Amino acid sequence: MATNQQRREAAKRKLERQLARRAERARRRRIVGVGVTVGAVVLVTGLIVVLATRGGDSAADETDLASDPSASAEDVHIPTERVEPATRPEPLPKSVSCEYPESGEAAKEVSVPDGEDVPAEGTVKVTLHSNVGDIGLELDRALAPCTVNSFVHLAEEGFYTDTSCHRIGTRGLQMLQCGDPTGEGNGGPGYTLPDETFEGLTYGRGILAMANTGSPDTGGSQFFMVYGDAPLPPDYTVFGTIDDEGLEVIDGIARAGHDGRFEPSPGGGKPNTEVTFTDVTVEA
């Protein structure tokens, strides 16, 4: 017969196992957005090679930079040339219907956007006002009408206001990821977006795209702004571009480095320079 001491130790071990399983489930649910969680093994291997060898840098160099808050502009090579904005090979109808199925609990109270008769032409200008400077965006309805409709809805309801950017990548995959009110990378609006991708999508300096969990149709509120290299497959909805002034703001954030908390996968870490959106304005 087990003693009281033995029973207490067994209960403690059981609790520790339960906590470990919960932590692992939470880690897997995190919206990694972009990184080496792409489906095909060959593609994953290729992306790992790019991250480890691009520009003569090593994976160890990424870790060194992440742990050095005083990283200078010489430590991070940032391309200065913008890529061409994305265009659809075949135009969409003038309006579309969008479905936004519920998905878990919202990280911040917000309603679900109306998905009827969503315009699929024209652009919308949005300004992300932050503590480190304004980042101007131009959203393209012709590229991703359902995504633009959701983003504008969240912005107008204040979902992004007082939220911080939780992840930046500085080597190989150069982007700033934002849009989670929890600031941890696993929060969303309580609904998901349909993928609006197409063959031929590429990513590079100036591109604005949606993050996802690595599975189809799992976008939400999190987005990433590419300021440099981004060797990614066409699995992430592109819905606009970033203006030159905004890219300069992001460049400065990148040069300050990160804490490496997302290494080795999906990569990068929390910016050493805190980035908080103090307001988000939408121009009709």
For range 117-139, the mean pLDDT: 98
92 has pLDDT over 80 = yes
Higher pLDDT, 56 or 181: 181
The pair of structure tokens assigned to 46 is 């290729």
Task: Note the pLDDT tens digit of each residue in 151-166.
Answer: 999 999 999 999 999 9
Cβ contacts of residue 118 below 8 Å, gap of 6+?
A: 95, 96, 97, 98, 145, 146, 149
Name the pLDDT band for 265 (thresholds 50, 70, 90): confident
The pLDDT mean for the chain works out to 83
Task: Note the pLDDT tens digit of each residue in 11-30.
Answer: 656 656 655 555 544 444 45
31-283 classified as CATH 2.40.100.10: yes
Cis, peptide link before residue 266, omega less than 30° from 0: yes
User: Which one, of 100, 187, 91, 108, lies nearest residue 144 by Cα?
Assistant: 91
Domain-wise residue ranges, the chain = 1-30, 31-283
Measured CA to CA, the distance from residue 264 to residue 69 in angstroms comes to 18
Task: Note the pLDDT tens digit of each residue in 205-218.
Answer: 999 999 999 999 99
pLDDT at position 172, please?
87
CB 268 within 8 A of CB 258: yes
Query: Angle at Cα 18 formed by Cα 16 and Cα 19, nearest 5°?
Result: 65
Cis, peptide link before residue 264, omega less than 30° from 0: yes
